[in-house]
Amino acid sequence: MNSTPTIILFSSAAGLPIFAGGLISSLLQSKSFPAKEEINHFITAFGGGALLSAIAFVLVPKAVTDLSMGELSLIFVAGTVTFMLLDILSSRLGGSLAQVLSMMMDFIPEALALGASFAYDHSFGLLIAIFIGLQNLPEGFNSYIELNEKMNKGKVLLLMFGLSLVGIVAALTGEFLLNDTKTVDSIMLFAAGGILYLIFQDIAPASKIKNNWRPATGASLGFLLGMIGEKLI
C-alpha cells in the first residue's frame, strides 16, 4: 500500500493544531475576564505535560531498546545541546523570527520521524501524529500571544497556517530519505533531548503563577491525555 497519501493526511492533522491553537487564542485574548491569565498559564502547563508524555511514551522507549549505550548518550546530549544553541540564537534574533524558530524546533524532527516510521509501522506513525497534534495545540495557543505583540491578528494567523503545513514537507522527507529503524530511533531521541531542554527552560517557568496552584494541574492532565492516547493505540 502506498503510504504517501496517509502520511500527508496524518502530518496535516498533526500540524493544523498550530493554527487551531492560534485561532482559539486569538478569540480568548480579544476578551477580558478575570480568569484569562490563569487559563493562559494552564494551557502552557498542559502543553508541557503533553510534551513530557511524548518523550516518555513515543520518543525514548524504542531508542532505549534499539540503540547502544554510547549512541543513546551521544544522540540525546546532541539534541539537548542543539536545542540550547537554537534557543540562544532565537533569543538574540528577537522578534517574530525567534518565535517561529521556537515553534519549529520540536515540530520538524518529530514530523521527520512521523514520515519515516510509516515505512515499517503504521500504528506507530499514527501514535506519533497524535502526540504531535496534542502538543501543537497549546504551542499554537501560546505562540499566538507572543507573535501578536509584534504583528496584527490576520498576519499572525496566516503565518501560523503556513507553519502548520511545514510538517507535510518534513514528513515526506522522512518517508523517502530516512526510513530505516535506527535512523527513526535516532531522530526521535535527538528530539527528546531537545524537548526536555525546552520544557525546563521555557515551558515550566512560564506556566507558574505566584500563589495560584491550579495552572500546574494542566501538566498532569496533558501527560494523562498522552498516556490515554498511547493506551488506545
- Domain residue ranges of the chain, discontinuous segments joined by +: 13-26+36-232
Per-residue pLDDT of the chain (233 residues; tens, 9 = 90+): 468 888 999 999 999 999 999 999 998 887 777 778 888 889 888 988 988 998 998 889 989 999 999 999 999 999 999 999 988 888 887 666 677 787 788 889 889 988 888 767 788 888 888 889 988 998 899 889 888 888 899 999 999 999 999 999 999 998 888 878 888 899 999 999 999 998 898 888 878 888 788 888 989 998 998 888 778 76
The set of residues, in sequence order, having a beta carbon less than 8 Å from that of 104 and lying 6+ positions away, is 163, 166
For residues 206 and 95, what is the distance between their CA atoms, to the nearest angstrom?
18
The pLDDT, as a whole number, for residue 81 is 95
Rg of the chain taking only CA atoms, in angstroms: 17
| CB neighbourhood size of 211 (10 A) | 4
H or E element at residue 207: helix 204-207
pTM (predicted TM-score): 0.85
Q: Which residues pair with 212 in a beta bridge?
A: 209
Task: Yes or no: say if 45 and 216 are a contact pair by the CB < 8 Å rule.
Answer: yes
Longest dimension (CA), the chain: 55
Looking up cell 496534542, which residue turns up?
Answer: 134
